[in-house]
Structure 1
Amino acid sequence: MQHANALNRLNRLPVSRFHKITLLAVSFAYFFEFADINSFSTTSPKLIKLWGTTVNQVAYVTSLSFVGMFLGSVVAGAIADRWGRKRALMWTTVWFGVFSLAAVFSWDIWSLGVFRVLTSAGLSAMTVVAVIYVNELYPAASRGKYQAYAIVIGICGTPVTSLIASAVVDINSWTWRLVYLWGALGILLVLFTRQLKESPRWHESRGRHEKADEILREIEARVIAEKGPLPEPAPPIEEAPAGKAPLRMLLQKKYLFPTLLLTVVWVTQTIGFFGYSTWAPTLLAKEGFSVEKSVFYVALTTVGAPLGSYLAALVTDRFERKWCLVGFGVVIAVCGLLYGLTFNPILIVVFGFSVNLFERGYTALGYAYSPELFDTRARSLGTGVSYGLGRLSNAAGPLIVAALYNNSGYQSVFLFIAGTWMVGAVVLAIFGPRTRQAALKPEPDTVGV
């Protein structure tokens, strides 16, 4: 067999039970990724009282966690190319589950910090692999919508975990550990192993056309049994096997621009969002709110997160993703700034709710947008490196936040956060390519600004 024609065969499939099971599995992984990613921020106010942890120590642990995220993102691209999308998704999820479980047994802030760095590496790696997996399995016309649907379900992990934390963290001196035990349940993704299929696009990119065809036939048989006969796919596009993608490949002209653009997108998103979500409970507690109230207020704001992902699902395949990202970024900047200008509990919840709503929508749009800027050969590497550099940038973010808070006060933190969102929106508006319903082609699409 010369060519399995995976791209066109997948694109002409109607959404079926196969797609829904895949969506459920990815959503499960996302759920515990979002559940686990804010575990430290929800428990740090308790640790400040219990262990005498300082704001600067919280900043150091948070910063190092983002170094872990960077390493996980870069490694994710390599293992997704070497092992395949499905296996990489499984192993990265197991990794973060195991080290979240280890965090339950932390004995001081530094042991917890080590476990959080290792957990964060797995969280970020899983995200990169999941983004690629969804983008390669779903039809081009609906992949943005289903990427957002996965996050709609997955993002529920944030408010659920925040509410669990608000209920258990302050009960006694050990119940904060339950938050990390909860995050470790992501390891149960292994229950979906037999239900998931490897990406035929990945097999095809490795020159394994017979294996790609075998998987495609299995998928098509399921879809035909459920939906009836399928239309003929478009003719295949010939391409050579992708081979190994070295890091220096991203310096080539056709890959350098999207890598730099997406790095700006993920740097501003990371500093902007995590500057808010990581620090909100701690800063509210430092400003006089009780630990219980600060965690509870933030928990209420995170209820907006699933709605934001659903909003992204409604707009992502109807409007140009670039302009959706720009609009969402501007709204987040405004709401985040207003959040920092009030100490009224109702307004804190209202503006915090809005930040979570539009930021999670922004993230869902970004997950759909990022892989579309690369061809098959560079997709894992380009997505992983740009996403990872975004996470690495926040190694400095918490230190900046701590310095601003200590030297200029609470409101200066939110001025800084609003500014980062505006930078991202402006760069996307000027330089961002259009990608709506662009096919995931073996060679880069010609996209206009």
Structure 2
Amino acid sequence: MLTPTTTAARMDRLPITRAHKIALATLAFVFLFEFGDLNTFAYVAPALIKHLAFSVQDVAVVTSAAFLGMAVGAVFGGRISDLIGRKRALLYSTLTFSIFSLVNATGFNVPTFIIFRFLTGVGLSAMVVAATTYISEVMPAARRGRMQSAVMAVGLAGIPVMSFSAKGIVPLGTDTWRLVFVLGSAALLAVPALVTLPESPRWLVHKNRLEAAEGVIARLERRAGPLTPIDETPSTAAPAPARQGYRDLFRGRTGRTTLFLAVVWIFQTLGFYGFVAWVPTLLAKHGFSVAESLGFAALTTIGAVPGALLAWPVTDRFGRKVPLVVVSLATAVSGLAYGLTFNPLAIVVFGFCVHLLIQTFATLLYAYSPELFPTGLRNAGNGLVYGTGRLANIFGPLIVAAIFAGLGYQAVFGYIAACWLVVAVAIALFGPRTGKQSLEALSTKTAETRRAPKPAAYAKSSPA
């Protein structure tokens, strides 16, 4: 009889099978274009300023609209994923952001870009929340962080790919910037592979679809070869799950987890996109040509991929908390140093460091955030805190534009450093330690377990 505890024990004893590798490769491909599309407007913005007479304030408004879409996509997409499943949520969200990325190529003024970037943002965040939750639920506990790092490392290659593509494409003509958005829609090629992915057994058990869950786990076990016996002692067995509603995200220990992660996501997002989304435009406004600003930005983005790989050796060995604190402090220092220099070589070096560190942080946080919520609310909780960060960043571009207009170029990077300091302090004071623990064990520490149903409820099965 499958229960949440036996499901966790059977999933966490598995090696990385061929099915795991296919899922990881598929998600990595989708992330490649998700990260690429996330930054397309930043690379196209200097051309829009030049050819369509956009102002810095126009760029800020459109960027804010995209983040409003991301907030909507994360919050509602996360909740929908808890209702319809991780697999279908991944499929629908990938279709959404890819199709609307293609539609972005038809934009011709500020209102059209506001609409198109909003709708693209809905799909982007819904996909990220569903994918990170899927990885946390399907990958074995001892390798969960490293598998997230592997997916991110491949996906983050989309940033320099998109950056160098924009550097080569945008200067070719007045309308060639449209091709950058076309490139961002290539995640549509992953749709056939997404259709074949197995559903998360943890989600299936939570929905009492025990036959379907048993089928998925059995297929994974057949491909894994000989396995160690399940160790389910009273000290490690998780209690039966509570009947959880969305309001439980705001109550008791789960509520404190939600609040803590919301603060981290808000200031991480402000610090992250304050740098990534604005560097090309700020450099152009500071006196560098469009080609030079895009060139500097392209070179610094090379740090993104090694940044994700930097998380690989530490995420499962040391857990997430300590590395997150160290990396956020280092990001604050590097970002401030970037803003204090005008030497081209120093701009590239410190920009490389910032890109490396913020992607190390993002990789760790993508693993950390979903594992702190119980299965029934994992995607909803992860989506809520992720979406809260995106919602706060509606004001982020406006804050950057106001600081730049009132206090100048260097003050923007002081603001970015301050955001990362807040993140470091929040995690140091309130973040629980994780790593090499089952999701169910973590849930008993960070979530409420009230109103648990009788064990007999898990003996029932429903059609797949």
TM (norm. structure 1) is 0.96
Number of the residue aligned with 2:214? 213
Structure 1 SS opposite 2:440: coil
Does 2:360 match 1:361? yes
How many residues end up aligned between the 2 structures? Answer: 443
Unaligned runs of 5+ in 1: none
Structure 1 SS opposite 2:318: coil
Q: CA deviation at 1:212?
A: 0.4
Which of 221, 229, 233 aligns to 1:232? It is 229
Unaligned runs of 5+ in 2: 447-464
Number of the residue aligned with 1:322? 321
* Alpha-carbon distance in 1 for matches of 2:240, 2:82: 15
Q: Determine if contact 1:239/1:442 at 8 Å carries over to the other structure.
A: no
Number of the residue aligned with 2:38? 37
* Alpha-carbon distance in 1 for matches of 2:215, 2:241: 18
Number of the residue aligned with 1:12? 13
Number of the residue aligned with 2:83? 82
Q: Determine if contact 2:133/2:378 at 8 Å carries over to the other structure.
A: yes
* Alpha-carbon distance in 1 for matches of 2:132, 2:213: 20
Q: CA deviation at 1:235?
A: 3.6
* Alpha-carbon distance in 1 for matches of 2:357, 2:365: 12
Q: Determine if contact 1:10/1:139 at 8 Å carries over to the other structure.
A: yes
- Aligned pairs for 1:17-166 (under 5 A) are 17-166=18-167
Distance change in 2, residues 1:263/1:122 (3 Å) = same
- Aligned pairs for 1:272-291 (under 5 A) are 272-291=271-290
Counterpart AA for 1:349: V
What CA deviation, in whole Å up to 9, does each residue of 1:231-268 have, x standing for no partner? Answer: 2223495765766x543221110211111111111111
Counterpart AA for 1:231: T
Number of the residue aligned with 2:169? 168
Counterpart AA for 2:164: L
Q: Determine if contact 2:238/2:440 at 8 Å carries over to the other structure.
A: no
- Aligned pairs for 1:243-254 (under 5 A) are 245-254=244-253
Q: Determine if contact 1:372/1:438 at 8 Å carries over to the other structure.
A: no
* Alpha-carbon distance in 2 for matches of 1:242, 1:180: 44
Number of the residue aligned with 2:413? 414
Distance change in 2, residues 1:41/1:416 (3 Å) = same
Q: CA deviation at 1:194?
A: 4.8
Counterpart AA for 2:209: R
Q: Determine if contact 2:26/2:194 at 8 Å carries over to the other structure.
A: no
What CA deviation, in whole Å up to 9, does each residue of 1:403-448 have, x standing for no partner? Answer: 000111001100000000001101111111111222110772337x
What CA deviation, in whole Å up to 9, does each residue of 1:246-300 have, x standing for no partner? Answer: 4322111021111111111111110001000111000100011110110111011
* Alpha-carbon distance in 1 for matches of 2:187, 2:239: 37
Q: Determine if contact 1:203/1:209 at 8 Å carries over to the other structure.
A: yes
Distance change in 2, residues 1:289/1:443 (3 Å) = closer
* Alpha-carbon distance in 2 for matches of 1:161, 1:149: 19
TM (norm. structure 2) is 0.93
Number of the residue aligned with 1:266? 265
* Alpha-carbon distance in 1 for matches of 2:441, 2:13: 17
What CA deviation, in whole Å up to 9, does each residue of 1:199-220 have, x standing for no partner? Answer: 0011001111111001111111
* Alpha-carbon distance in 2 for matches of 1:176, 1:242: 51
- What RMSD, in angstroms, separates the aligned Cα atoms of the two structures? 1.7
Structure 2 SS opposite 1:288: coil
Q: Determine if contact 1:92/1:122 at 8 Å carries over to the other structure.
A: yes
What CA deviation, in whole Å up to 9, does each residue of 1:58-82 have, x standing for no partner? Answer: 1111111111111000112122112
Q: Determine if contact 1:376/1:443 at 8 Å carries over to the other structure.
A: no
* Alpha-carbon distance in 1 for matches of 2:439, 2:241: 16
Identity of counterpart residues, as a percentage? Answer: 46
Counterpart AA for 1:137: V
* Alpha-carbon distance in 2 for matches of 1:356, 1:87: 32
Q: CA deviation at 1:99?
A: 0.3
